[in-house]
A and B are shown apart, each in its own frame.
Chain A
Amino acid sequence: MTSSRLFSLATTFLIFILAYALCIAQFPNMLSTRVIGNLLTDNAFLGIAAVGMTFVILSGGIDLSIGSVIAFTGVFLAVAMGDWGVPPLLAIVLLLAITTVFGAVMGAMIHYLAMPPFIVTLAGMFFARGIAFLISIDSVPIKAGLYDTLHGLYFRMPGGGRLTFIGMAMLAVFLAGILIAHFTSFGRNVYAIGGNRQSAELMGVPIARTTVMIYALSSFLAGLAGIAFSLYTSAGYSLAAVGVELDAIAAVVIGGTLLTGGSGYVAGTLLGILIMGLIQTYIVFDGTLSSWWTKIVIGLLLFAFIALQRGLVWLSARRSGASAAIPA
């Protein structure tokens, strides 16, 4: 099992290197720290959200609400700092508390009502975007000293590229995600639930607490992603970040995490994000391709990886004696 898991991750890594090499062969300028810096900055909010999605998918669930939570975050921060006069730091703390509680409520509903995560987080998606609409339907600019400070906070890489604050934040979140997934009991519980819920329960894994924590973590990170997004755009808009949940799911899958749960790496998701960013960068460099090719290529990649996963599962089931556990 471990070998096939590593195989997925290695495939993703190989595809990333190969794709990047092909890009460089066509456009030598793509091998610069500027491109790499932009790759990290442009995908920072998506990356942060995708870490939360990785945990959710590892546990065998799904979270459709993150795009809406990101939009809500932007609008809430813009209106709180602008119209309500809340100090920026307090607004951020308040916001993260709200989104975390929001996620915890969804997790509790999933566990205690025994309902599919899909439909519960769908309600969450409607709710968060609805509240964002109710706060403001306009695109509200954010003017805060804190934001200017954070904009000025970047690390100049050799070659002129900038590692911006949100780029660094994404890398930090990924590092934290890897540590949580592999070195805490919470991480082990997530893998256990995703692997086999019943066995996990029998082994004494606290299912209720872990489920609530998984969705709370996902929404907390969506809130964090929303902050990164509002830093990136310097505005809050309730129609922003539509469909980000799909991009995040795609990144997680391309990163080699098994959609049935229980198997995958947070680090793989980072590779998934980078591959998707690379496709976009390539289309920008090419100039003649339309942006809708991004969607088609991501769809194809999704299919390729899902087919690969099925193949691996099928192979390992065959190798382990072709017992009755093979799905019909």
Chain B
Amino acid sequence: MTGPGLSTFRRILPQLVALVVILALNTAIAPGFLDIAYANGRLYGSLIDILNRGAPVALLAIGMTLVIATRGIDLSVGAVMAIAGAVAAALITSDHSLAVTVLATLGVGILCGLWNGALVAFLGIQPIIATLILMVAGRGIAQLVTEGVILTFNDPGLIFIGSGSLASVPFPVILWVFLGIVVSLLFRSTALGLLVEAIGINRRASSLAGIGTSALLLAVYAASGLCAAVAGIVAAADIRGADANNAGLWLELDAILAVVVGGNSLMGGRFSIAGSLIGAMIIQSVNTGILLAGFPPEFNLVIKAAIIVVILVVQSPASHTLFAYFKHRPGRAPDAAPATPPARETGKEAAR
């Protein structure tokens, strides 16, 4: 087991280093940054806050990682969050039990994912467009469920999901860590992960090699819908209400960013859920750092743009060629093989 564990560690090492550097910067700005206090039966502190505030994006990033690994993208997760929040609030306020509410909401999330998956797998629509439909219509559907108002609720069980704590750790943190571990194990200790990566590298070839690409694509988008539903419940429970207009607004972009920051290629074909989760934490740490430094929160967007540009330059085939050129020394050559296969053009043809 040390072999795979070590390789995973090496893959996410750059992300870990980035996270540590950002946390160190935050500590330099605000000396009390690393303090963790224990009060009222749970832990408090900036670090805990980052873990807690980053929960929705971390949850979305788990599903998004799988989708992106198949060379897809899921733009609808923000809208699905809004739908899930609306459904949960509507059910709990009409006196359904917590179990029914949560299960029904997760079911709705899976349904949304299946819809996306069906468009991609059976109609062959490009993922970005297929999920755009639900992104546009989803908020309308959520508003239909809440009938245009912000549905508030007081059910202690549902509120616990957003702001409760278990063993002195905030419950959303437990949720995303648990879901991340379960999904990682499910995909990495079976061949599922390999098959998903195969679809991302060449869907047609995988199909010809006997992989059930359509079923797998359906499953992957359904997983993304499920993750979005969990994130939607957390977001709604956190504010004790379902806001169809603003719940999860632009979080799809943050989730994609988390996946990319986590070292996953948008071209698909390889994924690391641990990397994406660290990516989500990096984004949240940057957000917190900007606030701590006293910069206006408006800086967030410019800094996110800068992060994307840096990652693009690092990931681009052009700079890989450059790296390979400079690192072409005996003994180093196999290590410096470009990580992204130059399959972009052929993939585009296959997508037609």
Asked if B240 is at the interface (CB within 8 A of a chain A CB), the reply is no
B135 on the interface (CB 8 Å rule)?
yes
Contact assessment for A260 and B136 in the assembled complex, using a CB-CB cutoff below 8 Å: no
CB < 8 Å neighbour of B312 from A120, A290, A292, A299: A120
Q: Hey, what's the 0/1 contact readout for B290-318 against A, CB within 8 Å counting as 1?
A: 00000010111111111011001101111
B residues 113-151 in Cβ contact with A at 8 Å: 119, 123-126, 128-130, 132-141, 143-144, 148
**When the two chains form their complex, are residues B344 and A114 in contact, meaning their CB atoms are under 8 A apart?**
yes
Contact A123 B148 (CB under 8 A): no
Chain A 121-133, CB-CB to B under 8 Å as 1, else 0, gives 0111111011101
Q: A122-B308, A290-B143 are in contact. Are A327 and B135 (CB under 8 A)?
A: no
Knowing A197-B345, A328-B203, A328-B213 are in contact, say whether A133-B256 is a contact too (CB < 8 A). no
Q: Are B352 and A327 in contact (CB under 8 A)?
A: yes
Q: Closest residue to B214 on the A side, CB-wise?
A: A328
Given contacts A130-B298, A295-B139, contact A115 B350 (CB under 8 A): no
Is B73 located at the chain interface by the 8 A CB criterion?
yes
A123 near B136 with CB under 8 A, answer no
Residue of A nearest to B202 (CB): A328
Closest-CB distance, B346 to chain A (whole angstroms): 10
Known contacts A127-B301, A296-B140, A122 near B133 by CB under 8 Å: no
Q: Does A118 contact B (CB under 8 A)?
A: yes
Tell me the dominant secondary structure on chain B's binding face. Answer: helix
- Residue A113 lies at the interface, judged by CB distance under 8 Å to chain B: yes
| Interchain CB contact under 8 A, B300 and A130 | yes
Q: A325 within 8 Å of B by Cβ?
A: yes
Q: Least Cβ distance of A178 to chain B in Å?
A: 24
Q: Which residues of B contact A296 (CB under 8 A)?
A: 137, 140-141, 144
Does A35 count as interface, using CB distance less than 8 angstroms?
no
**How far, in angstroms, from A137 to B300 measured CA to CA in the complex?**
13
CA distance A197 to B351 in the complex (A): 14
Are A123 and B309 in contact, CB atoms less than 8 angstroms apart? Answer: yes
Query: Does B260 reach chain A (CB closer than 8 Å)?
Result: yes
Task: Specify which chain A residues have a CB less than 8 angstroms from the CB of B296 in the assembled complex.
Answer: 133-134, 137
A118 contacts B316, C-beta separation under 8 Å: no
- Which among A129, A134, A293, A328 has the highest number of chain B CB atoms within 10 Å? A328
B128 with A126: CB separation less than 8 A: no
B207 within 8 A of partner (CB): yes
Given contacts A123-B309, A126-B301, A310-B124, contact A299 B207 (CB under 8 A): no
Query: Given A118-B128, A122-B256, A299-B133, are A137 and B140 neighbors across the interface (CB < 8 Å)?
Result: no
**CB-defined contacts of A114 to chain B, threshold 8 Å:** 316-318, 344
Q: How far is A293 from B141 in the complex, measured between Cα atoms in Å?
A: 8
Residues of A within 8 A of B130 (CB): 306
Cβ contacts under 8 Å, B313 to chain A: 113
Q: Does B223 contact A (CB under 8 A)?
A: no
Whose C-beta in chain B lies nearest to the C-beta of A293?
A: B140
Beyond A124-B305, A328-B213, whether A259 also contacts B137 by CB under 8 A is: no
Task: Enumerate B171-191 residues with CB–CB distance to A below 8 Å.
Answer: none
> Are B298 and A137 touching (Cβ within 8 A)?
yes
Residue B348 CB within 8 A of the other chain: yes
Chain B residues within an 8 Å CB radius of A290: 143, 148
Which single member of B140, B308, B318 contacts A119 (CB below 8 Å)?
Answer: B308
Given A126-B304, A259-B126, A292-B148, is A113 in contact with B133 using a C-beta cutoff of 8 Å?
Answer: no
> What is the CA–CA distance of A28 and B220 in the complex, to the nearest angstrom?
49
B218 CB to nearest A CB, Å = 15
Query: Residue of B at shortest CB range from A243?
Result: B136
Q: Which residues on the B side are within 8 Å of A60 (C-beta)?
A: 348
Q: Is B11 engaged at the interface, CB distance under 8 Å to the other chain? A: no
The answer, yes or no, to whether A7 is at the interface (CB within 8 Å) is: no
> How far does the Cβ of B23 sit from chain A's closest Cβ, in whole Å?
23
Say yes or no: B143 contacts A123, CB within 8 Å: no
> Across the interface, do B351 and A300 meet the contact criterion of CB distance under 8 Å?
no
Evaluate contact between B318 and A112: CB separation under 8 angstroms: yes
Flag if B136 contacts A246 (CB, 8 Å): yes
A134 touching B312, Cβ below 8 Å:
no
Residues of B within 8 A of A (CB): 73, 119, 123-126, 128-130, 132-141, 143-144, 148, 203-204, 207-208, 213, 244, 253, 256, 260, 266-267, 296, 298-306, 308-309, 312-313, 315-319, 344-345, 348, 350-352
Could you name 24 residue pairs across A and B whose Cβ atoms are closer than 8 Å? A60-B348, A113-B317, A113-B319, A114-B317, A115-B312, A116-B266, A118-B266, A124-B305, A126-B308, A127-B301, A127-B302, A127-B306, A250-B136, A259-B129, A260-B352, A295-B143, A296-B141, A296-B144, A306-B129, A325-B352, A327-B124, A327-B204, A327-B350, A327-B352
Q: Considering the complex of A and B, which 10 residue pairs feature the smallest CB-CB distances, nearest first?
A: A299-B137, A130-B301, A295-B140, A133-B298, A130-B302, A127-B305, A113-B316, A123-B308, A296-B140, A292-B143
